Amino acid sequence: MKNKSAEPYLLDDYLSSGFEETQNPFITKDSRLWGKYASLIFSLLSLCLLISSYVVSFASPNLSNFFLIIVYFFVGTPALTDTIKDLIKFKINIEVLMTLAAFLSVLIGSQREGALLLVLFALSHALEDMVTTKTKGALSSLQKLSPTMALIIDEIEGTYQKSVKEIEPGTKILIRAGEVIPLDGEVIEGSSYVNLAHITGESVPISKSVGDEVQAGSINTDGTLTLVVIKTSAESTLAKIIKLITQAQESKPKLQRFLDQFGDIYAKSIILLSITIAVVMPFIFNVPFLTNQGSIYRSLAFLIAASPCALIIGAPTAYLGAISACARRGILLKGGVVLDALATCKRLYFDKTGTLTTGKLSCHSCDFINPSVDQNMLLAIAAGLEQGAHHPIADALLDYTKKENVSPYQIRDLKVISGAGVEGKAEINNKVYDSFVGSPDFILEKIADEQKKLIVDKIDREGKVVALALIGTNVIIFHFLDEIRNDARNILQSLSEQIEIEMLTGDHQDNAKVVADLVGIKSFHSDVTPDQKLSIVQESAEKERIIMVGDGINDAPALTYAHVGIAMGQIGSDTAIEAADAVLLNDDISTLSWLINHSRKTHRIVKENIVFALAAIAVNAVLSLVGVIPLFVAVIMHEGSTVLVGLNSLRLLRRSPSKAAGVSPQAPPKG
């Protein structure tokens, strides 16, 4: 077998992805980690140096000034560089105002206040940068799911590895048991069960045989398949989902747009006022330019007093307090903006598989069709057959027989037919029975016509996942259902008092209806593909703010586009977790009700902080400008308002009763 290195294609993927240097696959993990958190590390280090400068200022002024110089170097240099770039482009925003206020404060002897502004500014940006990398992380985890190489079958050269990017439609590829299918293709040889849960949302492995199409990203569970490729890697199902995520992220509502616009107007207004004060005041009020009570001094004092320190810290401290409270309940939030969005959402969409259900099949009952042998014996034979199979239906059937206190019967000549079922021989009272367990299609072709119609009618009427067993002429219909999460009905009933609830699923209509009835959801959409799921979310998002809760790759585009996407942390795919705005670390949907209430409280406190900060800035700036208070009093008022805003934010850290049971904040998220 020949083997062609995939490293050049890995480099191509990285360079064409637009990912930042911190995601470069060719540098060490430790280096990527340092690069990812560099801005936050330097911000925290600068904060420590600033505190040290305050502490030693009375004992050693020179050492205090040395610490300040390092602070200005660490956090002032990048701020000043960005400000120069903005000014060259004629952009004046709140960042420019903060930087100018910080550096000009040195001219009037308020260098420590300027350093504080720079440190707060740097901390705010570091936290923002950590949040905004989530979508690129989602695309990265998707690309990791899809194999970069495929096993080519060539009549002349035999089998060899080749990059999926070089494989054209019409090429034959071999997929072994347990492998991820690298490209969309059609089965031309072999049969197997294929797990499509992360692609379509269907919880039951699908039987695939000659003539069936399979999708890239799905998992071949048991047999060996030979496929003929029908789409290039750029046209595959996974590539389509990546494109959907990108489009959804680009069109996601910009929750910070209003604040950004306000910040730009505020910054321009304050800078313009400061210049006007410095130039005009001597002519109107007959004050000098350069003295301690001169116009330049007052304009700089006004600029510092009007710098939005409390305004900047008011929202982040509230969000950090709220995020910490969420973490204690096993909820990971990717930024305070998630809480803002949650507070105004009116509708919640649930994915079915892995969200309202556990994603694990359970056999809840079975029907015996005209049994001529003891029922427990028939169950024992069916269990004996399934001991030789390895897929979710077999596991669920064995669990069911165990609960019924039935031990598996010894089967002779056991044979597994990939993608179909299991067959063997069972001897009962010196009589040998040909025995089979498997999919309805596999079993029905072996059943007499007079029995077949009765069984088909019963299967259609039940509308659930079924498997059949044929033992001699005895037929058993096993009924399976995706396990409903504990207390899901009561949880959703409580949640429906706060928000409208609907269900979205790629599962077929009959299964979706059964689950919807069990959990008490009146409105649901079934048989939806990832792009259809996204379309439903987009249409709804145009009318009102919405939440999407899901766990699979197929949910990722909708999770990204929704005003708030919430993923399951344990059962959820890495892609869904990365694409979501929030993660339930313990898959505990009972915390959703508390989360919505908490977000509304956070939203209220943030508004209180903003109103108070603006009022404090206005009073402080006016009093400084007219010379009613000296500069040190203005600084005390400035810092005092910041402290009060911080204390108000700490209210969000107070413990409140939680209805969520069994939440363990220490449980790590998947991936």
Give the residue numbers annotated as catalytic, written as ranges.
Answer: 351
Max CA-CA distance within the chain? 120
Please, what's the b/e burial string for 60-87 (b: 16 or more CB within 10 A of its CB; e: otherwise)? eeeebeebbebbbebbbebbbeebeeee
Q: For residues 595 and 332, is the Cβ–Cβ distance under 8 A?
A: no
Please, what's the b/e burial string for 548-564 (b: 16 or more CB within 10 A of its CB; e: otherwise)? bbbbbbbbbbbbbbbbb
Phi-psi group of 203: left, alpha or beta (phi > 0 → left; psi -120 to 50 → alpha; rest → beta): alpha
User: Look-up: residue for tokens 């001991």?
Assistant: 387
Q: Residue 281 is encoded by which pair of tokens?
A: 């005041």
Three-state DSSP at 231 gives coil
Cα–Cα distance measured from residue 473 to residue 571, given in angstroms and rounded to the nearest whole number? 41
User: Look-up: residue for tokens 């990722």?
Assistant: 556
Q: For residues 438 and 404, is the Cβ–Cβ distance under 8 A?
A: no
Cα–Cα distance measured from residue 426 to residue 417, given in angstroms and rounded to the nearest whole number? 17
Q: Where are the beta strands (DSSP E) in 155-301?
A: 158-163, 172-175, 185-189, 192-195, 206-208, 213-214, 219-220, 225-229
Cα–Cα distance measured from residue 322 to residue 595, given in angstroms and rounded to the nearest whole number? 10
Report the relative pairing of strands 546-550 and 347-351 from DSSP bridges.
parallel
Task: Please provide the distance, in angstroms rounded to a whole number, between the alpha carbons at the two ends of the chain.
Answer: 33
What sign does the CA torsion over 6, 10, 16, 17 have? positive
Three-state DSSP at 338 gives helix
Q: Where are the beta strands (DSSP E) in 489-584?
A: 500-504, 524-525, 546-550, 564-568, 582-584
Q: For residues 606 and 319, is the Cβ–Cβ distance under 8 A?
A: yes
Among 340, 349, 306, 314, smallest CA distance to 561 is for 349
Q: How far is CA 26 from the centre of its chain?
A: 25
Q: Residue 545 is encoded by which pair of tokens?
A: 């703010």
Among 276, 282, 274, smallest CA distance to 302 is for 274
